[in-house]
């Protein structure tokens, strides 16, 4: 089937490559000529496991092409995926200008029936706006061409996006008619073989489903961070509590790991956008407001623990940071807790030596060269000259380090464990103090 994807960011590129892998003829379009040129050279602009070889294989097979030509993009595909960004506006709402620009571009060029698919995360009611934008362009041309607008939200986890697309938990189709649903079922048939994964619903329910899913997951995280903060005050161990409540199948173990707050391109933006949607409809979403507030405060938890140990003025102190990305297996630093931590440490006069397996180029792009930041290519090199180690992102290479080496290298043998990945009983015999989230502090001799 012929597919056009507008936008070669995280969602658009994964969507295009995976649909091409299923045998479809896919054209991905972007207005960024440099990005398109890089993709044509085989350079994938984001780090996502499995994506680069998938793109290369399908380009070589002729199933995947890239262009900056909107005319060619609209002319090519029966299916027109809109996969452009919806960044948060100043008031927290999703900025739909890019989505509607694409819709107008399709309406200005289409000469035959098209299925226009909102793949971008968009607020409830966006499909109506897309439909109007396309219709206005057709009317301006004096054309009466049939088209349908569908909501097909993505549920891709950064770090596992290719696998999520190839083996989805569910495929949500928000359609207004049976014909469009049948066409999309045919498109998604290769990903729907073992058991029925397609859930068809009305367009507005599909749009709400995406936001509700991310808001629920974000709520679980913020709730667990609240529990962790309370555990510290009452002398409980949140890791024991987590195991106790996670064993209840009604709760489960997913997304109940306390830490330094959630980040990334989805949860913060989507919770804010859903809360804004509620306000626009005269409803105060108190739980969503609380989720945002708890997460914002949680991003300062590591800084507060550092200050509690070393004082308000950190001039002359150096901290080794392991992890910059907001989560493992990505180079994405959007809303990353590491950013809030580093900025807080710098404001107090400290310097940072940081290592991340994938996100250091992104860190350089964001912060440039500065005297109080040193990025190193080796995790142990980050420890040199550092007073303490702060674990911010739970990459696998950080899980089983040489604790004797860490203790011998740090000026003050302490690990601030922002993801609770270390067992304090293991650290103490190595002479390391363990400061975690929602757990009693363990110092040498207490193991």
Task: Examine the residue annotation and report whether 266 is marked as an active-site residue of this protein.
Answer: yes
**Helix (H) or strand (E) segment spanning residue 65:** strand 64-67
State the CB neighbour count (10 A cutoff) for residue 104: 16
- Counts of helices then strands in the chain (DSSP H, E): 17, 14
Alpha-carbon Rg for the chain in angstroms = 24
Task: Give the count of alpha carbons within 13 A of 29, CB side only.
Answer: 20
Q: What proportion of the chain, given as a percentage, has pLDDT over 70?
A: 99
Query: Given a cut of 50, is residue 447 above it in pLDDT?
Result: no
Question: Mean pLDDT throughout 22-41?
Answer: 95
**List 18, 73, 266, 363, catalytic entry:** 266
SS3 440: coil
Say which residues have a Cβ less than 8 Å from residue 312's Cβ, sequence separation at least 6: 348
Q: Is the pTM of this model over 0.85?
A: yes
Cα–Cα–Cα angle for 212, 214, 217, rounded to 5 degrees: 105
Backbone dihedral angles phi then psi of residue 409, each to the nearest 5 degrees: -90, -40
Of the candidate ranges 127-141, 262-276, 281-295, 384-398, the one whose mean pLDDT is the lowest: 262-276
Residue-level pLDDT at 56: 94
Strands 198-201 and 171-174: parallel
Is residue 18 very low, low, confident or very high in pLDDT (cuts 50, 70, 90)? very high
Return d(Cα 374, Cα 351) in angstroms, integer.
Answer: 8
Residue-level pLDDT at 446: 53
Residue-level pLDDT at 266: 86
State the CB neighbour count (10 A cutoff) for residue 438: 25
Residue-level pLDDT at 193: 85
Of the candidate ranges 37-41, 90-94, 142-146, 401-405, the one whose mean pLDDT is the lowest: 90-94
Query: Given a cut of 80, is residue 138 above it in pLDDT?
Result: yes
Return d(Cα 121, Cα 85) in angstroms, integer.
Answer: 8
CB 10 within 8 A of CB 48: yes
Say which residues have a Cβ less than 8 Å from residue 156's Cβ, sequence separation at least 6: 10, 11, 14, 164, 165
Q: For helices 203-234 and 286-298, give the axis angle rounded to 10 degrees.
A: 50
- At 190-247, the pLDDT tens digits run 999 888 899 999 999 999 999 999 999 999 999 999 999 999 999 999 999 999 999 9
């Amino acid at each position: 089937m012929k597919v056009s994807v507008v936008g070669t960011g995280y969602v658009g590129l994964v969507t295009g490559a995976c649909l091409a892998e299923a045998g479809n003829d896919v054209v991905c379009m972007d207005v960024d000529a440099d990005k398109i040129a890089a993709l044509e050279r085989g350079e994938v602009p984001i780090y996502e496991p499995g994506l680069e070889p998938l793109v290369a294989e399908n380009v070589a097979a002729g199933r995947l092409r890239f262009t900056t030509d909107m005319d060619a993009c609209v002319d090519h595909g029966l299916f027109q995926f809109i996969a452009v960004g919806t960044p948060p506006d100043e008031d927290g709402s999703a900025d739909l200008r890019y989505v509607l620009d694409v819709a107008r571009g399709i309406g200005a060029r289409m000469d035959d029936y098209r299925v226009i698919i909102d793949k971008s995360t968009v607020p409830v009611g966006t499909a109506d706006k897309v439909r109007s934008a396309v219709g206005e362009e057709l009317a301006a041309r004096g054309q009466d061409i049939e088209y349908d607008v569908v909501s097909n939200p993505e549920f891709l986890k950064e770090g596992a996006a290719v696998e999520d697309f190839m083996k989805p938990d569910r495929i949500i189709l928000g359609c207004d008619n049976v014909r469009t649903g049948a066409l999309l079922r045919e498109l998604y048939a290769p990903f729907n073989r073992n058991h029925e994964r397609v859930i068809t619903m009305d367009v507005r329910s599909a749009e709400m489903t995406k936001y509700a899913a991310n808001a629920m997951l974000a709520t679980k995280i913020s709730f667990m961070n609240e529990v962790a903060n309370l555990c510290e005050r009452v002398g409980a161990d949140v890791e024991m509590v987590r195991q106790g409540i996670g064993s209840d199948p009604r709760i489960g173990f997913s997304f109940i790991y306390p830490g330094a707050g959630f980040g990334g391109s989805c949860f913060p933006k989507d919770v804010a956008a859903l809360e804004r949607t509620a306000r626009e409809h005269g409803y105060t979403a108190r739980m969503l407001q609380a989720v945002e507030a708890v997460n914002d405060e949680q991003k300062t938890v590591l800084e507060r623990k550092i200050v509690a140990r070393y004082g308000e003025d950190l001039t002359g102190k150096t901290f080794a940071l392991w992890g910059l990305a907001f989560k493992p297996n990505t180079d994405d630093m959007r809303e990353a807790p590491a950013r809030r931590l580093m900025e807080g440490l710098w404001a107090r006069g400290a310097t940072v030596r940081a290592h991340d397996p994938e996100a250091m180029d992104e860190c350089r792009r964001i912060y440039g060269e500065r005297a109080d930041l040193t990025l190193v290519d080796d995790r142990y090199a980050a420890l040199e000259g550092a007073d303490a180690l702060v674990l911010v992102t739970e990459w696998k290479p950080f899980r089983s380090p040489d604790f004797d080496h860490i203790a011998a290298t740090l000026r003050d043998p302490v690990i601030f464990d922002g993801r609770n990945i270390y067992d304090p009983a293991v650290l103490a015999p190595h002479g390391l103090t363990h400061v975690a989230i929602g757990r009693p502090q363990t110092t040498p001799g207490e193991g």
